[in-house]
Amino acid sequence: MFIKTASTACLAVTFPFAFGLDVPPRNNSAQHIALGKAKVFLSQLATAEKIGLVTGSYGLGPVLPCVGTISGIPRLNFSGLCYSDGPTGYARSDGVSVFPSGITVAATWDRDLMYQRALAIGEEFRAKGAHVHLGPSPGPLGRSIVAGRNWEGFGPDPYLAGVATNASVTGIQAAGVQASSKHYIGNEQETQRGSSTLSGGLTVSNGTVIDAVSANIDDRTLHELYLWPFANAVHAGTASVMCGYNRVNGNYTCANPDILDRILKDELAFPGYVLSDWDATHSTELSANGGLDMEMPGTQSVSGVSYFGDSLLAAVNNGTVSLDRLNDMVTRVMMPYYLLGQDQDFPEPDPASGGVFLNYQYGYNSPLSSVYPAVDARDVRADHAKIIRRIGAAGTVLLKNTNGALPLTHETNIGLLGNDVSYPTIGSVYLDYDNAEGYEMGTLDIGGGSGTVRHTSFSTPEEAIERKARKLGIRVQKLFDNKEVAEGLFRTIYPRPQACLVFLKAFATEGTDRASPDLQWNATAVVESTAAFCPNTIVVTHGPGVVAMPWADNPKVTAILAAHYPGEESGNALVDVLWGAVEPSGRLPYSIPRNSSDCGPPILSSVANATDPNAWQVDFTEGQMIDYRQFDANGTEALYEFGFGLSYSNFTMSSDTSFELIDGPLSALPDQSQGMVPGGLADLWKVVAVLKVEVTNSGHRASSAVPQLYVSLPQDTTPPGTPHKVLRGFEKLHLKAGERREARFELMRRDLSYWDLGNRQWVVPEGIVQFSAGFSSRNLVARTHARLVYDQN
């Protein structure tokens, strides 16, 4: 999202089908009532009022507590809609919580924590008076490991991302707040993400408008990778879907009938509304007729021109956009409003957010005085610090632990080193997307851009470790200047610590992509220098996902913790893991490559002809081969593979499996007679098989295992480009020492299908399907196989 500020120009429910779709609604009284209310409301509107319901603006009157609004209609007791960022908490406000990032909660591999995070975020949004949460972020998926917004999403595996998206939509809407799943679709890089008139776009000297990057994706790759988690969002009942800045196959996503109408609204039977990212609309008739239902932010766009508003009114009056289409747009917008009960006792937007919004600059300065009168913020945090702390710990992945370096037990003298330990020296502020490395001094718990959140409270590693050390009588020595550490200037550290904790970070933000996967601020030299000084060096990283670790095999680096962006309870969550109060149960939701040659598709950062408006083209020629799929296809080893993570305990899995086709063999094609549900054909979402395997905690501590199931479709009966294996199930099992329990993986028809270009449908292949279970994508110990399809002869 691009924001123009005052100082810079720049309930678990599903919906019935809107009446623009040629399928019946589900038999649900609440849904029928909501649809009926929306139709009654529509019948009372003048055409100009209908236009107002699909054309956004900034703020409500003279105050700006919302990043976008739909104006109210007082005569019908409709007070309007308030939209706010973002996926990690309520942005541009005070009295709010900073939640762990999407990639952090994905690293928990815990469906319940995914849901609890979303529920808490939804509760804060409702309490602040925001009707719509601009999240979750199933896009970007993570095609490139250096894409600037990967941290907001759930990682490059569509199944894991889909589970997290489903839980997030369900949790947000259980709080009575609309989810807006974004950024649909193919928004896999920030560089030139929009045209040269928008944020992220590049301008040339002759003033030519350069179009946004086009993600050129074949239909199978689109369905099996990038669309997959959006289908989960639709199936979970997401109120809206936000189309992104980029183009897909040459057309802007917000005016692309192929991806909005044919795929999203028809194939996935999406009954909600499509809203544009801020200033991502480029046309009137093309957008409205192509499937866009709401323009944001209307006449207050960067260009100063609204493509909806008066322009849409004129198009309706002259017949280039039909009145039926406008009515469909309005009904799609109003139905979730009624279904989630937002017409009853919904809080007014917190006016205190306006002062923060007016001064929001995506930068280091947050001058919250003089421009706007001081207003006490509505504190909506409740006890959410508890769930933030739990997720922060559960999303921390133990990658290395030589000779039981962790948990800390008998150390009486420890060192804290690196510039990622303390409170930021510039204060608690928004993060800048003009500075590729963020601020130098201070720990990093969240990324930058519209997804960031202002801290009301903040537990840093330094503060939390100091508090723990005082209780245990441990001496703590500190050296935070990375230059000093990298040069080996440990003159202030004496006596030599028994354990040196090195804190490293990598900043990522909307609006720009990372230059490389490297940790920043001379991180490699910091680790190598510390390890030469301290033979028990424990590294903690805070980053947006994949970060390079060229020092991982150094024998003096005894432990590595990937803490991601853990949110405001960063320090407390880390202490829980370091001293063993909480078991490290996180697992990687991505692979960490050993060699730079295995980093996957690069970001397109420049083009040969900078004056060609259509020059920015990214061909997704790798197809589905990203992350562990790429490693499998190339036969290469990762440094740490997808799904990997250590524990303070040990687990074993039986080699025996139990596999059952619930109703016997399957037909190749889904049964269309079962009708449609949000997310597509109902038959695709039917559980058709179950696989079971036993897992044992063979260690001496209670801990959590994450058994994973991978499915390998037959290479000889599927089209070229079929991955060697794909994740299709996981469980988070909390086991006492010595306890054995069954892991149960339920498989839906879609989990066992590939997208067939000829049929334009999901197809279960003939032949033998392999099933492999284990503890990571490369640690698979239980295998079985089955033929799933009827004999066609």
Give the catalytic positions in this structure. Answer: 277
Whole-number Cα distances in Å, 365 to 7, 184, 651: 11, 32, 49
Whole-number Cα distances in Å, 746 to 686, 688, 734: 10, 8, 19
Distance, in Å, from the CA atom of 723 to the CA atom of 249, rounded to the nearest integer, reads 23
Distance, in Å, from the CA atom of 157 to the CA atom of 141, rounded to the nearest integer, reads 7
H or E stretch covering 761: strand 761-763
531 residue type, one letter: A
Take residue 660 and report the two structure tokens written for it. 């059952």
Task: Determine contact, residues 48/313, Cβ cutoff 8 Å.
Answer: yes
- CB under 8 Å to 758, separation ≥6 — which residues? none
- Give the bridge partners for 768, in sequence order: 787
Helix (H, G, I), strand (E, B) or coil at 132: strand
Distance, in Å, from the CA atom of 669 to the CA atom of 691, rounded to the nearest integer, reads 22
- Give, rounded to a whole angstrom, the gap between the first and last alpha carbons of the chain: 54
Task: Determine contact, residues 750/684, Cβ cutoff 8 Å.
Answer: yes
Whole-number Cα distances in Å, 567 to 13, 333, 335, 350, 389: 28, 32, 34, 23, 8
Angle at 58 between CA 53 and CA 59, to 5 degrees: 95
Burial (CB < 10 A; 0-12, 13-18, 19+), residue 542, is: buried
Distance, in Å, from the CA atom of 65 to the CA atom of 367, rounded to the nearest integer, reads 16
Task: Determine contact, residues 512/435, Cβ cutoff 8 Å.
Answer: no
Take residue 531 and report the two structure tokens written for it. 């390890």
Whole-number Cα distances in Å, 395 to 166, 422, 456, 776: 18, 21, 22, 16
Take residue 709 and report the two structure tokens written for it. 């199931």
Burial (CB < 10 A; 0-12, 13-18, 19+), residue 212, is: buried
Omega within 30 of 0 (cis) for the link into 461 = no
H or E stretch covering 471: helix 461-472
215 residue type, one letter: A
Distance, in Å, from the CA atom of 206 to the CA atom of 198, rounded to the nearest integer, reads 17
Task: Determine contact, residues 109/647, Cβ cutoff 8 Å.
Answer: no
Take residue 685 and report the two structure tokens written for it. 């979402």
Of 519, 597, 530, give the one whose Cα is nearest residue 562: 519
- CB under 8 Å to 776, separation ≥6 — which residues? 587, 588, 641, 642, 643, 644, 645, 708
Distance, in Å, from the CA atom of 253 to the CA atom of 270, rounded to the nearest integer, reads 16
Q: What is the DSSP-derived secondary structure letter of residue 658?
A: E
Distance, in Å, from the CA atom of 185 to the CA atom of 355, rounded to the nearest integer, reads 33
Residues 235-268 as b/e (b if ≥16 CB within 10 A, e otherwise) read bbbbbbbbbbbbbbbebbbbbbbebbbebbbbbb
